[in-house]
Amino acid sequence: MYSFEFNAPTKIICERGAIAKAGALAAELGSKALICTGGGSLKRNGSLDIIINSLNENNIGYAVYEGIPSDPEIKDVDIGVSVCVEEKCDLLIAAGGGSVIDCAKAIGLAAANNCPVSELECLKPKHPMLPLIAIPTTAGTASEVTKMSIITDNAKKKKTVIATDKIIPSVAVLDVNTTLSMPPEVAAATGMDALTHAIESYLSDKASVMTQMLALEAIRLISRNLHSSVYNNKNIEAREAMLLGQMYAGLGFSNTSTALVHSMSRPLGVYYGIPHGEANAVLLPAVMEYNMPACAHKMAEIAKAMGIDSVLKGDTDYAKALVVRLYEMLDTLPLRKRLGEMGVRLSDLEAMAESGYDAASTWVNPRKPTIDEMVEIYKKIM
């Protein structure tokens, strides 16, 4: 007997050079686009020109909101809403990493509902966000297909998690050309974020046969291609496999939520500005070690998808081998390995654990932690 709901309404276009279709795609959704971008790499590598030319060819007007930072804050969304309203834009094009796409989602939702972004987490917004074409330039968050947007609320010292079907993008354009200039550290951090999504989605209490199929294929693709993607940006096949794998993981976790790694990584971002993927990468092996008593069989399935061949054949042997492999992966990537070297202080662990404990992602984790146990996990990787 199978029983599940699965929602993935985004039109997905995966093709090298597909950003040149942005104008034609936009013409189906509106008449004037707000192009949201980050720090300027899109301009430097020529992608912004390609997008703008295709808008011009299709008689679509546009305004540009550039400079969206990593881990956008409420003020960054507010600026975007002002530009969107003043310029009378009726659709959005977000081209950038997960932060840019998350920010565009919040802009589109706040603009459509005439509502401050600080209230979006609690309110049930009446209207869907403005139509959004999402073009990821990293391979990690899968924000281009998910119902999540994470916005930092500095006043409340927390990450606002907007999770609603009303912010699922209309179109996702996966064009590997846009990811080729991604530096190794970013490829490593975002790739480990994607692997964490896939693993946590597979283990989530909300997992279904549908999401598990996606998660296992994501784990297979990411574990085989992450290293090449990080250390050889000319390996287009590896970068494309990462783009595909992270998207599969996104389709899964958008329906299952992430779990304890994410509950514990968000406070590291808020308290210390540690990049999301790097925080996940350092937490992932330790949290899996903690999870093992509750889900050894599922961890064994993950190990097998990663190609781990344990000499011993029991689930626990495979699960242990998985934890070892995750520590080894972290060791070989250009990422920091311990919280201590990221500047994390023992005195903040309790407050961060309390903050993470309240997150919805904690309660779909296969093993339900106490705050003390979460502190112990942080301590283990200090």
Q: By CB under 5 A, name the binding residues for Fe ion.
A: 193
Which among 370, 241, 218, 223 is positioned nearest to 306, based on CA atoms?
223
Q: Which two tokens stand for residue 84?
A: 């969107």
**Which residue's CB is nearer to Fe ion, number 55 or number 259?**
259
Least gap, CB of 172 to Fe ion (angstroms): 17
Least gap, CB of 280 to Fe ion (angstroms): 6
Which residue of the chain is nearest Fe ion when measured via CB?
Answer: 193
CA distance 287 to 164: 27
CA distance 152 to 102: 11
**Which residue's CB is nearer to Fe ion, number 102 or number 193?**
193
Least gap, CB of 22 to Fe ion (angstroms): 26
Asked whether 263 and 364 are in contact (CB, 8 A), the reply is: no
Least gap, CB of 190 to Fe ion (angstroms): 9
Secondary structure of 181-206 in HEC code, one letter for each residue:
CCCHHHHHHHHHHHHHHHHHHHHCCC
How many other C-beta atoms lie within 10 A of the C-beta of residue 334?
Answer: 14
**Which residue's CB is nearer to Fe ion, number 30 or number 277?**
277
**Which residue's CB is nearer to Fe ion, number 90 or number 193?**
193
Q: Would you put residue 153 in left (φ > 0), alpha (ψ -120 to 50) or beta?
A: beta
Least gap, CB of 265 to Fe ion (angstroms): 7
**Which residue's CB is nearer to Fe ion, number 130 or number 364?**
364
Which among 343, 195, 210 is positioned nearest to 269, based on CA atoms?
343
